[in-house]
Amino acid sequence: MSLRPALLACAFVLASGPAAAQAPYRSPQQILDAAPASDWRTPDPANLLYMELDTPPGAEGRIVIELAPDFAPRHVGNIRILARQGFWDGTGIYRAQDNFVVQFGDADGDDPAKAKSLGAAVTHLPAEFHRAAAGLAFDRLPDPDGWAPETGFVGGFPAGRDPEAGTAWLAHCYGTVGAGRNSADDSSLGAELYVVIGQSPRQLDDNITVVGRVLHGMERLSAIRRGPAPMGFYADPAERTPIKSIRLASDLPEAERLPLQVLRTDTPAFRDATEARRNRVDDFYKRPAGHIDLCNVPVPVRMAPR
């Protein structure tokens, strides 16, 4: 809240863990700045969607989404086909519900008379709400969570896990991308996607197929003018935000791709930065929380240093 970044109180020490008790406090940013290059991964271009909004000249309209084929292989497969076909080009963001989601795709997708052709994409998919937890590296958070028996990160995505059921699923946090569906659990195709823009709607976890998360340009989606309550659909199609194109990064010339890197969540830097957020020790915070919720943990993204 301060106008001035708070100074660090380096004489303070973390109370948790014998190693931490000996080290001076470092801010999350200091920890990230000191992380070795090997702590950062470059996402596979076949898993990156580049979305271009139709913005005024000079304004950047690019949004980058990382897809999660380990959790939603069938949906991601369909999304890749749709992107190659240019399915979303000329469609728009047709819903912006405050403190919930923006949603985009073919606004007439539910009307057989007006719906855009899905081309080579499949027209029925199974629900991919969760998957088997076995075989997944799960970087677990230390704190309890009311929504899931365990929470943590899988491949850079916030996730829940149920050891009894043996399942894992991607969580609905700020920036999570999911596949809109109607009432039937197998009614999503990946053509109609939503992005969380408010308080994490964790009640949707394991109730809908999550396909990825926004890595870049989130602030362009979150600041879109909201549609009317209660659901945020615009009454007038002219109010929609036009989408120029959505492409896979692997289908774009290298020169048009951003050098995005994501911090690996199985690294000491990620664990230490998360701990530095759980227990903040600086001039600003008077009472460290000693806790962090899954959706309060950022998974850092940066442009690769030259």
* Residues making contact with a copy of itself (CB under 8 A): 1-7, 96, 98-99, 101, 103, 109-110, 129, 143-147, 173-175, 178, 180-183, 185, 192, 194, 197-208, 218-219, 222-226, 231, 233, 277, 280, 283-287, 289, 291-293, 295-296
Give the shortest CB-222-to-a copy of itself separation in angstroms: 6
Nearer to a copy of itself, 122 or 231 (CB): 231
Give the shortest CB-250-to-a copy of itself separation in angstroms: 27
Give the shortest CB-281-to-a copy of itself separation in angstroms: 12
- How far apart (Å, rounded) are the C-alpha atoms in residues 298 and 273? 10
Give the shortest CB-41-to-a copy of itself separation in angstroms: 21
Give the shortest CB-139-to-a copy of itself separation in angstroms: 18
Give the shortest CB-56-to-a copy of itself separation in angstroms: 12
Task: Write the DSSP string, the chain.
Answer: --SSPPPP-TT-B-SSSHHHHHSBP--HHHHHHTS-GGGEEPPPGGGEEEEEE---TTS--EEEEEE-TTT-HHHHHHHHHHHHTTTTTT-EEEEEETTTEEEEE-TTTT-TTTPPP-TTS-S-----S-EE-TT---EE-SS--SS-SEEEEETTEEEEEETTTTEEEE---TTEEEE---SSTT---SSSEEEE-SS--GGGTTSSEEEEEEEE-HHHHHTSPPPSTTT-B-SSGGGSEEEEEEEEGGGS-GGGS--EEEE-TTSHHHHHHHHHHHS--SSS-SS--S---GGG----EEEPP-
Give the shortest CB-54-to-a copy of itself separation in angstroms: 16
- How far apart (Å, rounded) are the C-alpha atoms in residues 295 and 175? 10
In this structure, which amino acid lies at residue 6?
A
Nearer to a copy of itself, 224 or 263 (CB): 224
Nearer to a copy of itself, 12 or 233 (CB): 233
- How far apart (Å, rounded) are the C-alpha atoms in residues 106 and 114? 9
Q: For residue 107, give both structure tokens.
A: 């606004």
Strand partners, 193: 104, 179
